[in-house]
Amino acid sequence: MTGCERDRIRAICESYPRLCANLHEDGWCRFERSNLIRARYQQQEAPSDANRYVLMTELETYHDCLDPLLDIEYTDRQERKNDKVEAIVLVREELAALEQQTRASDSPYLQLWHWRHHGDRQARSRFIAQADSPAMQQPELLKALAELLAPRDKKAAEQALHRALGLYQARQDIDTAIIANLINLQIGERRYEDAWIWTRVLAQLTEQRGVDWERMDSYVRFSPEQQRQMQQQADNLVTRLKNGSYIQR
């Protein structure tokens, strides 16, 4: 597979040299470089906000991989360091140009990008306004929406988290940070029974053995019978999440 991937990247570079221009040439950050070339190619072949977002994330990842290497002293070939410096400068320029192009985008991913990277409040407002749009129905986006809503509307934030969980299909890996955020909201509202149940769900999905059960006990203690009933609820939630049939009740 690695050889096939090298062949694909080589074919792209031979057909479209500009997509591979101004990138470093040694073995450092090899996967990041390949992913960037592939993202450039995809945007060239099918220009869209979705592909621009992928390209922006790959530019950032490539930059962040190379940047620490500039502190390394290259005793045998100074040009190895120089081509990384040039690559970083040009990648920053390419990313800045894409950010300028996408400032008014309707894509929630790009709106979230501009809020997180530049504190763009207009992008944040447009992102929140899309709460019920089809484009927002992605677990990652709904988790981000919940984080923005939580300070002023905890009920809406919790609904967003439940919607996020309901989007997972059978056997998909679930982002357990969604559940952790849900638990924090429940504890903040002193809904300790719900928090107890979802803490058990979290423990089962992550197979954690180091969950701090004493933290829950410090809020409220439940009788053995209550715990048995709540554990049944937690088991039912885990089953529904794993088979892709979770719907908030």
User: Which pLDDT tens digit goes with each residue over 138-188?
Assistant: 999 999 999 999 999 999 999 999 999 999 999 999 999 999 999 999 999
1: pLDDT strictly greater than 50: no
For the chain, what percentages of helix, strand and coil (3-state, to nearest 5) are there? 75, 0, 25
In this predicted structure, what is the pLDDT of residue 147? 98
Per residue in 80-102, pLDDT tens?
Answer: 667 888 999 999 999 999 999 99
pTM of the model: 0.87
Residue 3 has pLDDT above 70, yes or no: no
| DSSP state letters, 92-103 | HHHHHHHHHHTT
pLDDT of residue 36: 98
- Count of Cβ atoms closer than 10 Å to residue 100 Cβ: 8
pLDDT score of 158: 97
Taking the C-alpha atoms of 122, 128, 133 and 135 in order, what is their torsion angle to the nearest 10 degrees? 70
Separation CA 62–CA 87 (nearest Å): 9
Q: How far is CA 242 from CA 21, 137, 183, in A?
A: 45, 19, 19
Q: What is the pLDDT of residues 198-226, one digit of tens each?
A: 999 999 998 755 556 566 666 778 888 99
pLDDT in tens, 102-144: 999 999 999 999 999 999 999 999 999 999 999 999 999 999 9
Q: Of 61-65, 148-152, 221-225, 245-249, which gets the smallest average pLDDT?
A: 245-249
- Of 1-5, 8-12, 22-26, 34-38, the poorest mean pLDDT is in 1-5
pLDDT of residue 74: 56
